[in-house]
Structure 1
Amino acid sequence: MKKFVDLKRRELKFKVGDEVYLKLRPYRQRSLAKKRAEKLAPKYYGPYYGPYLPPEASIHNVFHISQLKLKLGKQHTIQAQQPKLTAEFELQLWPETVLGIRWSPELGANEWLVKWKGLPDSEATWESVYSMNQQFPSFHLEDKVILEPRGIVRPPIINVYKRKGKKGITQDNMEE
């Protein structure tokens, strides 16, 4: 019996100074339940060095080893590059490139995915072609001219309306 149970268990060994994640159930522990949807909270918290928890976590610092998970790899903190402000504390953005084009049914026009100068690609926004041409009339891609698909073919006529004729009036009645 013990042989089958041991197949599901794993032996964990930690060294002094290892960073670990702590598995918590925030919907059971009221000291962590600060959000509306506690069940959607992260499964593991951390990384922490051993049992050194932050002071705002009012939890006892002794845990079963099955509640710990070893942190793998180095933690890289990526700081977002702050956009530059003018002397009047205004944010001035200039378009750098167009990353994509899509049709917007709400606007009834095309939109461009614009990458702004000084911001990463993740900060690119969808802007309408009309507003971009109004705000930045000199914006032109160096050798990549994006043309909107146009042609001489008009869209097909889908709805055809006919006027109903008046009842009771025929050619025979008009001759008399």
Structure 2
Amino acid sequence: QQTTEKIKMIREKLRITQSRQKCYADKRRRPLEFQEGDHVFLKVTPITGIGRVMKSKKLTPRFIGPYQILRKIGPVAYQISLPPFLSNLYNVFHVSQLRKYISDPSHVIMPDTVQLKDNLTYDAMPVQIADRRTKQLRGKQISLVKVIWNEDTGDATWELEEKIRKNYPYLF
């Protein structure tokens, strides 16, 4: 009699605890529904094979895309149109591997008109000299200049003054 009551009490407390844990877990979950034609990001994991190629795990992107949803396969599976470089992957993904893409015109970056050579390199032209300094190296004085290479990005490097003066005399 007493044992039966204790078992009932333990079961009731277990049910309450499970209900509480489910409530906590469900707060983080949200139902995801996508329509045909929506654009989504694809999660990059070592399982999909995309993230394995890159060496530095810290710098790899978490999501790639956006890719268009072709059709809904099941309640939680979607078929996605993948580019040719991802042709080794199966194009059906679980909803947990997808993230909705909200289109925003400010996210679109127009490619610059960069003149490429035949060997796919380009010449960066310096814009201006930002700073000068002299460095002491083994008893020699080496003059350095900080050159800004691109107006848009503001990329700057320290270069030898004589080299820059020889190649780009219009900066001085």
Give TM-score scaled by structure 1 length: 0.54
Give the deviation of 1:69 after TM superposition: 0.7
Q: Which runs of 4+ in 1 moved over 6 A?
A: 91-94
State the Cα deviation string for residues 107-156 of structure 1 (Å, max 9, x = none): 7434222235x87554544322233344455643xxxxxxxxxxxxxxxx
**Root-mean-square deviation over aligned CA pairs:** 3.6
Give the deviation of 1:95 after TM superposition: 4.8
State the Cα deviation string for residues 37-63 of structure 1 (Å, max 9, x = none): 385643222110011112443333222
Find the counterpart in structure 2 of residue 97 from structure 1.
Answer: 128
Give % identity.
Answer: 27
1:20, 1:127 → 2: CA distance?
44
| Count of residue correspondences | 132
Give the deviation of 1:65 after TM superposition: 1.3
Cα separation, partners in 2 of 1:20 and 1:126, compared to 1, 3 Å:
same
Cα separation, partners in 2 of 1:96 and 1:111, compared to 1, 3 Å:
same
1:95, 1:54 → 2: CA distance?
36
Unmatched tracts of structure 2, length 5 or more: 1-18, 70-79
Find the counterpart in structure 2 of residue 114 from structure 1.
Answer: 147
Give the deviation of 1:8 after TM superposition: 1.7
Cα separation, partners in 2 of 1:105 and 1:17, compared to 1, 3 Å:
farther
**Is the 1:81–1:119 Cα contact (8 Å) retained in structure 2?**
no
**Is the 2:41–2:63 Cα contact (8 Å) retained in structure 1?**
yes
Cα separation, partners in 2 of 1:100 and 1:18, compared to 1, 3 Å:
farther
Cα separation, partners in 2 of 1:67 and 1:102, compared to 1, 3 Å:
farther
Larger radius of gyration: 1
Cα separation, partners in 2 of 1:84 and 1:120, compared to 1, 3 Å:
farther
Letter aligned with residue 52 of structure 1: S
1:69, 1:101 → 2: CA distance?
48
| Matched residue SS, 1:126 | strand
| Matched residue SS, 1:63 | strand
Unmatched tracts of structure 1, length 5 or more: 86-90, 141-176
Give TM-score scaled by structure 2 length: 0.55
Give the deviation of 1:16 after TM superposition: 3.2
Give the deviation of 1:9 after TM superposition: 0.7
Cα separation, partners in 2 of 1:54 and 1:137, compared to 1, 3 Å:
closer
Q: Which has the higher helix share?
A: 2
